[in-house]
Structure 1
Amino acid sequence: MNTPTRRRALTLLAAAAGLPLLDLPLMGLRPAAAVEMPTLRHWSGVALGADAHLVINHPNPAEADALIQASLAEVARLEAIFSLYRPDSALSRLNRDGVLVDPPAELVILLAEALSIARRTDGAFDPTVQPLWTLYAGHFGRPGASPAGPPESAVREALAQVGYHKLTVAPDRVSFHHPGMALTLNGIAQGYVTDQVVALLKARGVAHTLVDMGEIRAVGTHPTGRPWTAGIKAPGEDDRTLLTLPLRDQALSTSGAYGTPFEPTGRFNHLFTPATGRCSDPRFSVSVSAPTATLADALSTALSVTPVGARVLARFPECRAWRAGADGSVTALNRSQST
């Protein structure tokens, strides 16, 4: 999925007032003092090309460790389906051949969800933007590349291959309508994998856990009885938290253009507006809380590239969203919401 050097915009915090922070250090985050919680088992590593963390509240350390290993096996299984960078993955084979017969059920389920969100966001979320990534990465990967970006003619050519309505998804076949099309699931797959790990843990009796496989989802409470807590960092910064949010049976995702820039200024980056091929403003990020990490992941991507965020968000009454600025501002995107 995304490369491990992607900068994270969320940090996980302890929920208990008066206690030091529970240290789950993310990339670029200043470590905090850890709380001794003997029932908590921690794992930190890389999943789907990004920093990942798993915290399980369980009285039996051996059983907790077995649950962590089962979770990681599930992540590995799903990565073999969704990875853009493994040539043998189902997604890579689809992008290479333009058609995938007898696709894995998980790919069909996730693509159906992606297309539903694409329609509900008027195409602001669109998994077919991979040709734009290829264009920009290729342009800035060449020596002496123009700092003005690819020529408009090349952008128009790439845009001709973009459009979620040009993708057919059925249980027995996934196919593109035109040669040159390609999918990326980087704006939704990490959320889906997070949800699948949560489902696995719940099925095995875990009632209190914090799962972060690129996106965060909290189940139950922290051992103190308080909610789990996540902090939204200032865009492009590692150690300035602008907003702290309690999480209980809720997911949280942040999308920021500064996360994966193609060139030093960040003007050209991985968050594309599907209608124009232009890139999102790196001075801002969008965070979304939702019942599932899949929805939070996709919706934070969509709200990062649409000029009518409040209107789109109104179609998702179960979600809340915030826009954070590098100047330290935080704006609630829900019309009736306050920070």
Structure 2
Amino acid sequence: MASISRRGMLITGAAGGLALAGQWPQAGMAKAPRGGTELLHWRGSALGASAEMRLLHPEGMRTGHFVKLALDEIERLERIFSLYRPDSALVALNRDGFLASPPFDLVILLNEAQGLAGRSGGAFDPTIQPLFALYARHFAVSNANPAGPSPHEITRSLALVDYAAMEILPERIAFGRAGMAVTLNGIAQGYLADRVTARLAEAGITDAMVNLGEITALGRAPDGTAWRAGIAGSDQVLDMGTQPGAFAALATSGAAGTLFEPSGRHNHLLDPRTGCSVVAGRLVSVAAATATLADGLSTALAILPRGEGRRLQMQYPGIRVVEGS
């Protein structure tokens, strides 16, 4: 069976989905170097995996308030994007092939995903779910053929993969073919990080770093310098935040994120154009203005050959791409 990493947890709805709301296992406060503020450093679990927040807030404010805001927002979005919660909007869409009066966040993110699919020549495709499900079913049995699904099965699943065959309107989302299904696994975690950070900003937080698998940052670190984040698979460190010269978001995609079998030959980074997984060991990080963009682009660039990837990068001035190992 596929091994699900932190990156996949949003879509699986693991750990019962935010059952920990209101439980803050490690929340520490310390005086920040700036007068009148305190630093909250929270570590815990969100979506069944490690999560972390560091934020500056006015002295005397209840720290649990900010953690609850973040966890409530995660819970709200999981009810939209989860592939496994029976009450999610995405489950209803995949089951019925259409969704009337869809949640605004689903319309926004599907439009974003469809746009990136077009610009990447279909390397990123949110309708990849039938192919993903084929691989998951194949390797779920104990005597699975290590070569993977048959060419016939792959071809049949690929007939249902077509980002252009989605109608995405504020009043209705619909698939153009019976049997189509969507996964937002390659972009939703970034969207979630953006929304949690925005929720904190609305509550008055001006300086924060949020790590929910993809990283976002606001303002500056406690000492007045940029927040800093190491880039996976490299020795590079990135200045982050909303001050000049820094990036607001960082995301990483790699073949090891979800493995269908131990060797890594068959993994979740499936190329919609071939039906096959990318080479194990590929790791791509993208820094951008939003985690949604960084997440989607890192997924696409991890699938595309390097030459095609460079052409895609040229469509997004202002990003930074680092290939790790």
Instruction: State the distance in 1 between where 2:70 and 2:217 align.
Output: 15
Partner of 1:194: 193
1:233 is paired with a residue of what secondary structure?
coil
Instruction: State the distance in 2 between where 1:315 and 1:171 align.
Output: 27
Matches within 5 A, 1:85-104: 85-104=84-103
Matches within 5 A, 1:111-260: 111-234=110-233, 242-249=235-242, 250-260=248-258
Q: What is the letter of the counterpart of residue 317 of structure 1?
A: P
Q: Is the 8 A contact 1:3 1:49 kept in 2?
A: no
1:128 is paired with a residue of what secondary structure?
helix
Instruction: State the distance in 1 between where 2:285 and 2:197 align.
Output: 20
2:164 is paired with a residue of what secondary structure?
helix
CA shift digits 1:38-86 (9 cap, x unpaired)? 5221223333454322221113354332122112111111111111110
1:45 is paired with a residue of what secondary structure?
strand
Instruction: State the distance in 2 between where 1:256 and 1:35 align.
Output: 34
Deviation at 1:221, TM superposition (A): 1.1
Instruction: State the distance in 2 between where 1:7 and 1:188 align.
Output: 10
Q: What is the letter of the counterpart of residue 237 of structure 2?
A: T
When you count helix as a share of all residues, which structure comes out higher?
2
Partner of 1:47: 46
CA shift digits 1:22-46 (9 cap, x unpaired)? xxxxxxxxxxxx9965522122333
More displaced 10-residue stretch of structure 1: 82-91 or 34-43: 34-43
1:68 is paired with a residue of what secondary structure?
helix
RMSD of aligned alpha carbons: 2.0
Partner of 1:64: 63
Instruction: State the distance in 1 between where 2:42 and 2:270 align.
Output: 33
1:129 is paired with a residue of what secondary structure?
helix
Moved runs in structure 1, 4+ residues, more than 3 A? 2-8, 34-38, 61-64
Deviation at 1:204, TM superposition (A): 1.9
The answer to whether the aligner puts 1:311 opposite 2:311 as a matched pair is yes
With over 3 angstroms needed to count, the CA separation of the structure-2 counterparts of 1:186 and 1:49, relative to structure 1, is farther
CA shift digits 1:170-222 (9 cap, x unpaired)? 11111111111111011111111111111111122211001122210111111
Structure 1: stretches of 5+ with no match in the other structure: 9-33, 235-240, 326-339
Q: What is the letter of the counterpart of residue 321 of structure 2?
A: A
Q: What is the letter of the counterpart of residue 207 of structure 1?
A: T
Partner of 1:26: none
Deviation at 1:4, TM superposition (A): 6.2
Deviation at 1:283, TM superposition (A): 1.4
Deviation at 1:226, TM superposition (A): 1.7
Partner of 1:297: 295
The answer to whether the aligner puts 1:84 opposite 2:87 as a matched pair is no
CA shift digits 1:93-146 (9 cap, x unpaired)? 111111111111111111111111112222221111011110111111111111
% of aligned pairs identical?
48
1:278 aligned to which of 265, 273, 276: 276
CA shift digits 1:261-286 (9 cap, x unpaired)? 11111010011111111112221200
Q: Is the 8 A contact 2:100 2:172 kept in 1?
A: yes
With over 3 angstroms needed to count, the CA separation of the structure-2 counterparts of 1:306 and 1:156, relative to structure 1, is same
2:58 is paired with a residue of what secondary structure?
coil
Q: What is the letter of the counterpart of residue 262 of structure 2?
A: P
Q: Is the 8 A contact 1:128 1:182 kept in 2?
A: yes
Instruction: State the distance in 1 between where 2:309 and 2:57 align.
Output: 40
1:108 is paired with a residue of what secondary structure?
helix
CA shift digits 1:241-276 (9 cap, x unpaired)? 532222122100000001111111101001111111
Instruction: State the distance in 2 between where 1:52 and 1:224 align.
Output: 23
Instruction: State the distance in 2 between where 1:312 and 1:201 align.
Output: 32
Q: What is the letter of the counterpart of residue 40 of structure 1?
A: L
Structure 2: stretches of 5+ with no match in the other structure: 9-27, 33-37, 243-247
Instruction: State the distance in 1 between where 2:274 and 2:60 align.
Output: 52
Q: Is the 8 A contact 2:214 2:250 kept in 1?
A: yes
Q: Is the 8 A contact 1:48 1:190 kept in 2?
A: no
Partner of 1:330: none
Give the TM-score normalised by the residue count of structure 1: 0.82
Instruction: State the distance in 2 between where 1:6 and 1:204 align.
Output: 27
